[in-house]
Structure 1
Amino acid sequence: MSSVFGRTPSGATRRRVIGFSLAAGGAAALAACSDDGGTEIDVEAQSKGAMENFAADMQFTATEPFTLSVLWTDWPDLPITDQWQFFKEVEKRTNVKMEVTNIPFSDATEKRSLLISAGDAPTVIPLVYTGDESSFVSSGAILPMSDYVEHMPNFQKYVEEWDLGDMVNNLKQADGKYYMLPGLQEVSVPVFTVVIRKDVFEEVGAGVPQTWDEMRAALVKIKEKYPDSKPLADGFEGASMLNYASHAWGARAGWGFGNGMVDDGSGKLEYTAVTEGYKQMVEFFRGLVEDGLLDTDSMTAANDGSGGGSVTEKVAGNLVFAASGSPGTAIEFQQALNETVGEGNHEVVVIPPPGGPAGQIVEPRNFWNGFMLNAEIADSENFVAILQFLDWLYYNQEARELIRWGVLDETYTKDASGKITLKPEFSLNAYNINPGAPTDIQRDLGWSNAVFADSSESRALKESYNSPTFVEYVEAVLSSRTPRDPNPPAPLDEAELESSSLMATPLKDTVDTNTLKFILGERDIAEWDDYVGELEAQGLQQYVDLINTARERFEEENS
């Protein structure tokens, strides 16, 4: 049995700076003096191409053109081409030409690490999630972004307007600085949750489950109606379902396991996988397996058919009626059901993650993917202009709309209410918009590309390309669920990072293996204490003490 419990394709607000002058008299304003004591920029030497008085919501256009190197992850089903309108239009508007270094999606993390470690990384390193940067801090290979955000007015504006200041503060490493800038989300809802056949749930008189107990009761009724089914499935080797379900028990699991630490209620941290809440979660899912309500293949195999038929195929065949997924998964289920039960004969919806003993809570508000910068760029004559360009690209709202939809009145229209409509000759097949139109704005033009599009978003932009059911899902989560408090930050110094990695990996391997063994019935839950003892023998207490020491230090330094 194998398991890949990976991560999903997620303080004081800084002083808002509206703009600055590059004139000699404005030199003091240009110095990047962050709240943590930033690094000064040589105004005359490093402002080539920068705009004077650059401000939030302003179109960035370099006063002199320059080329910027970017690390680009290639998706196997979305081949990149330098003829994409995306590259041409961004260059036309900004005077910045992107020069890409390509790495394959299949081993993007490893390739990225090798390039950074060898000093060969491009200037901009996108698709970075919080925590990815930690291993590169001590080497000095990446730039401390907190030293320079004074020159990024869009970033600062939306951190403030969307109340993300405390979350940004928690990005700090042990030295008090943060080294990546994340994608900012005006609203944050779990991307993966339960996708259900609402028509079937209503057919058996269950309705939409609000808690896991209600989900179980509904699954029992569905099993009675469809005895050959195992009505609940994951399809992501167990990692997705345990991720979004764990919060209902006050635990962390699956994709969201992270360093494994949770607040014990007294300000200290404890290891989630030995808590009573984690045990109760395991017992709940074990009960589903015992009663034939959970598809066991989907807990050990990806949704690709390798487990004896994919989850999508089982949904289409009336063997699964609820499964882990995202809005994209819901579309796949709908398309498959159109072929089997017929269009109009089913209703697939995405529902808020069910609640549980810990309450109607979901994962903490999340950042989305952002970027790091190669530290060598700090000496560039275009340094200020690069900061301005990236501030525009990642955080300016017009830029975000451009990257998602293309050129206004060319690929899409926008009415007085702000509603966006893709023109009929264009499709966005990834979101089932205008299927069959001759030109896909993603595949053929490069808009909605996975490197830049899925980063910073307002709520309106997020809802503009998603289905009506997803818009309803967002509203349902925001109105009926409470985000969990953020995971307590405990940044480690270089020596602690090395020690923790040596301990964390074998501990997590033991957790992953035994979590599935317990759930699948391959290990009796009566052996729980033995399992805890095995973790203790691997140095669990030493690991917990290490993280708690880092946590206490962070609190003292940021109180």
Structure 2
Amino acid sequence: MKLDLTARLTHRAGRRLTALAAATALVGLAACSSGGSDDGDAGENDAAAMADYAADTTFKATEPVTFSMLWTDWPETPITDSWEVFDEIEERTNVSLDLTNIPFSDAVEKRSLLISSGDAPDIIPLIYTGDEQQFAASGAVLPLSDYEEHMPNFRKYVEEWDLGDMVDNLRQADGKYYMTPGLQEVSVPTFTLLIRKDIFDEVGAKVPETWDELRDGLEKIKAAYPDSTPLADGFEGASMLNYAAHAFGTVAGWGFGNGTFYDEDSGEFVYAATSDGYKDMVEYFHGLVEDGLLDTESFTAANDGSGTVTEKFAAGQVFAASGANGTVNDFSTALDATVGKGNYEVVQIAPPGGEAGQVVEPRNFWNGFMLTSEAKNHPNFIAMLQFLDWLYYSPEARDLLRWGVEGETYTKTDGKYTLNPEFSLDAFSINPDAQTDILKDLGYSNDVLAGSTESRALKESYNAPQYVEYIDSVLSTRTPRDPFPPAPLDETELEQASLLATPLKDTVDTNTLRFILGERPLSEWDAYVGELESQNLQGYLDLINGARERYADENG
């Protein structure tokens, strides 16, 4: 069917969201692997489903079908009329996607409004673990664990990649899970420390394996470059505290979550921000500030606008900072203009260890999807599950979403992916001189569909060799922290917990920053703990630990 430009853009956008939602739904199904399935009346809604659908086969609806999906528009890569990814999906599967578009800037708010009002599309993508709790408690989304049998690829890779226990941790108070995440064969922290290795070498400092070794290196750099403040974050402290916290046996920053940390000795959840480990972490970073080793502006402002960490890195004012794989490219581009190519070495290192050991965050899922409770009434509901299973978990679809069409946009020989020279992938600096970008022009490698589920080989295929080395270093030298035991809250408890958690976290965020920056003396730590206790901290912990005990009793 030919569509005008506007109609095609909307149509394609819808398809893109459907695919992402598929990723989440698939993961949720995996969690059910240990719990049997109950399709309810879904068996009646199997029009267009394949009778012999199985893992590692191409799903193709027995008749053309359309599924609705929520689509988040990324400002950097807007959908265009030339995006062939949706045409390729439709040609292979007989499925077209009808999108409801929302902007990235307020996607979470608009998504919540659509779901609560009952106006959401069937497939809700870009769901991270925890996002589903409020919707599960209210019955607005489906328990995907009831439909696992229709997702053979999901089940296969949950088993092959040893993710079953992680999926079980997605279960809510009723023992079911309501979102399915993207599956990753290997999981390493996305954000970590980036260092100017050439400068560390120059001053005789080793690549730091611990935070104490990092401090030693920063002191040597400060002595050689007295005008520098050698360490920076650039994400208002939230990034660095997130990956540092694990080394101190706590959680902080982006990883603070609900604020609790499971204490193995007591067998109970404690509040992380009152623990000895959290205090030790705060004292460590306060010491860096006191000695002029930490750029305080990077703990209070984001890495945008003037005076950014990138600019300071390029100017030789900062020599170590938080970042992800893409940040390496940003720093390198900036350094090319100041010190010149070949005159520096930026390295992404494994998060340093500390008093809790060489510990990093637990293995993680990537974003997945939910299905609205109305989706099971779709006449093609089983076909929808099969389609999503193929789209997010089959190797065929994973390759398609990342690289395009084998033999046209890329080749694959002995497991090695090579983008054909007439195509580029600018987001990863691959063939930058080619005229056709497979993301911007064709829609492959897009932010919504690609990368939700990845094998290690696929993850490494589009990343620079330096990032592959980073993966190796994390996997060989660091131990992921064990996940905490489940403590799912029911709807009433969620409301109570939210009312308590918000002011508690506000107090933590404010005082963590004040302690680190020296605006509040560390001698007032006990007073700060008392302030949290006066906000009914114990009542909050009683809710969490009560839910943990109930879940353990009901699920053995």
Question: Cα offset for 1:557?
Answer: 1.5
SS class of match (2:476): helix
- Whether 1:215 aligns to 2:214 is yes
Amino acid of the residue matched to residue 505 of structure 2?
K
Question: Cα offset for 1:14?
Answer: 11
Map of 1:24 onto structure 2: none
Identical amino acids, percent of aligned pairs:
68
Query: For the Cα contact (< 8 Å) 2:42–2:377, is it kept in 1?
Result: no
Query: For the Cα contact (< 8 Å) 1:33–1:147, is it kept in 2?
Result: no
Query: For the Cα contact (< 8 Å) 1:36–1:176, is it kept in 2?
Result: no
SS class of match (2:339): helix
CA distance in 1, matches of 2:547, 2:410: 50
After superposition, the CA RMSD in angstroms is: 1.8
Amino acid of the residue matched to residue 524 of structure 2?
E
Map of 2:416 onto structure 1: 419
Deviations along 1:366-398, whole A, 9 cap, x unmatched?
011000011111011101100000001111112
Question: Cα offset for 1:40?
Answer: 2.9
SS class of match (1:546): helix
Deviations along 1:491-536, whole A, 9 cap, x unmatched?
0001100000000000000000100000001110100001000000
Map of 1:124 onto structure 2: 123
Deviations along 1:415-458, whole A, 9 cap, x unmatched?
1x211111111111111111132111111111111111131111
Structure with the larger RCO, 1 or 2 (CA within 8 Å, 6+ apart) = 2
- Whether 1:51 aligns to 2:50 is yes
- Whether 1:285 aligns to 2:285 is yes
Query: For the Cα contact (< 8 Å) 1:262–1:488, is it kept in 2?
Result: no
- Whether 1:363 aligns to 2:358 is no
Query: For the Cα contact (< 8 Å) 2:311–2:334, is it kept in 1?
Result: yes
TM-score normalized by structure 2? 0.93
Match of residue 388, structure 1, among 376, 386, 389: 386
Map of 1:109 onto structure 2: 108
Q: 1:103 to 1:321 in 2, by over 3 A?
A: same
Query: For the Cα contact (< 8 Å) 1:316–1:333, is it kept in 2?
Result: yes
Question: Cα offset for 1:82?
Answer: 4.6
Query: For the Cα contact (< 8 Å) 1:201–1:218, is it kept in 2?
Result: yes
- Whether 1:397 aligns to 2:395 is yes
CA distance in 1, matches of 2:139, 2:309: 45
CA distance in 2, matches of 1:346, 1:41: 63
CA distance in 2, matches of 1:250, 1:126: 32
CA distance in 1, matches of 2:203, 2:433: 36
Question: Cα offset for 1:99?
Answer: 1.2
Amino acid of the residue matched to residue 94 of structure 2?
N
Question: Cα offset for 1:413?
Answer: 1.1
Question: Cα offset for 1:15?
Answer: 11
Map of 1:6 onto structure 2: none
Question: Cα offset for 1:152?
Answer: 0.2
Query: For the Cα contact (< 8 Å) 2:28–2:179, is it kept in 1?
Result: no
Once the two structures are overlaid, the 10-residue window that deviates more, 375-384 or 496-505, is 375-384
Once the two structures are overlaid, the 10-residue window that deviates more, 472-481 or 76-85, is 76-85
Question: Cα offset for 1:47?
Answer: 1.3
Amino acid of the residue matched to residue 325 of structure 1?
G
Amino acid of the residue matched to residue 162 of structure 1?
W
SS class of match (2:388): helix
Structure 2 residues not aligned, in runs of 5+: 1-23
Question: Cα offset for 1:98?
Answer: 1.0
User: Mapping of 1:242-321 within 5 angstroms?
Assistant: 242-265=241-264, 266-305=266-305, 309-321=307-319
Q: How many residues align?
A: 530
Map of 1:173 onto structure 2: 172
Structure 1 residues not aligned, in runs of 5+: 1-9, 18-31
TM-score normalized by structure 1? 0.93
Deviations along 1:14-44, whole A, 9 cap, x unmatched?
9999xxxxxxxxxxxxxx998255233453x
The structure where helix makes up a greater share of residues is 2
Map of 2:462 onto structure 1: 465
Match of residue 473, structure 2, among 471, 476, 480: 476
CA distance in 2, matches of 1:116, 1:83: 31
SS class of match (1:471): helix
Map of 1:330 onto structure 2: 328
SS class of match (1:342): coil
CA distance in 1, matches of 2:198, 2:421: 31
Question: Cα offset for 1:228?
Answer: 1.1
